[in-house]
Amino acid sequence: MDSFETRRSGPLIRAESLRKEFQGPGGTPIVAVAAASFHVEAGEIFGLLGPNGAGKTTLLRMLATIITPTSGRCWIAGSAADEAPHAARKHVGFMSGNTRLYGRLTPREMLRYFGRLYEMKDDAIALRTGEMAESLDMTDFLDRRCDTLSTGQTQKVSIARVLLHDPDVLILDEPTLGLDIMSRSTILSFIRAAKTRHHSIIFSTHDMGDAELLCDRLGIIHDGEMLAVATTRELLAQSDASNLHDAFLQLVHGHVTA
């Protein structure tokens, strides 16, 4: 695995005109994402904001090579996801809001299982498990069954699974959803640390405070359309708003009424 000193530089995520259509009733196409284009540099946290049903999860799943775009292309750490999905996938750690754990396994057993899927050696899995347990404050429940864990503990295990193979690209779909303040603080700190190690991070959230606190740039998506890609400062200047919450609402409402 690469250390942060040798991790790639430049854009590790690049999307060009990504589009996804699903078949609706009577064969009518439903556009979930239309022509999304952006990039994410190494060492950058890119926030993805949008209301429920805006297309955020569909976009993230295309980037993670879980679903195939209807049109458009994306590259992950230099690998074209459509031409070499397996190569691209090796560079991705993806966590969805509906990630589930195997209840009968302990976190340690879960991480060993996924480490072997990532083709890691057992000694490397053990080393990374120890690092994850310390960084995410998991030591006290590392050997308890997953079906006995709290929401916050479950979320920590999910993030440890995503980070175990030290991927260049982290795609996190609402990783702080439903967490108490202490668990949320631990995870936000870990995301900041991943930035210092030059990971490219996409961070989907409904929490404007988290977005303003963490993200270098933001993409705002609504009804499948990427309405803006900019820094928080640029969005505030464009909307003449005093905070990200108001800037977001102005942009979305302007799109709805246009």
**31 SS3 class:** strand
Look at residue 5 in the predicted model and tell me its pLDDT. Answer: 42
pLDDT given for residue 7 in this prediction: 54
The pLDDT of residue 2 is: 46
Q: Are 15 and 38 in contact (CB under 8 A)?
A: yes
Integer Cα distance of 200 and 41 in angstroms = 6
Q: Inform me whether the pLDDT recorded for 235 exceeds 60.
A: yes
pLDDT of 72 above 50: yes
Rounded CA separation 103/86 (Å): 28
Question: In terms of Cα–Cα distance, which of 196, 193, 191, 164 is closest to 175?
Answer: 191
Between CA 198 and CA 239 the distance in angstroms is: 31
CA atoms within 13 A on the CB side of 170: 31
Tens digit of pLDDT for each residue in 131-165?
Answer: 999 988 899 999 999 999 998 899 889 989 988 99
Residue type, 114: F
> φ, ψ for residue 187 (rounded to 5)?
-70, -40
Lowest mean pLDDT: which of 9-23, 41-55, 172-186? 172-186
Give the helix, strand, coil percentages of the chain, each rounded to 5.
Answer: 40, 25, 35
- Pairing label, strands 169-173, 200-204: parallel
Q: Which of 219, 235, 215 is nearest to 227 (CA)?
A: 219
Closest CA to 220 of 240, 245, 257, 195: 245
CA distance 183 to 232: 25
CA distance 91 to 157: 19
pLDDT score recorded for residue 27: 83
Domains and CATH numbers, the chain: 11-99+172-257 (3.40.50.300)
pLDDT higher than 70, residue 63 = yes
Type of residue at 253? H
Flag whether pLDDT at 167 surpasses 80: yes
Tokens representing 162 are 């995503």
Question: Per DSSP, what are the bridge partners of residue 218?
Answer: 47, 230
Nearest to 67 by CA among 54, 78, 55: 55
Residue 99 reports pLDDT greater than 80? no
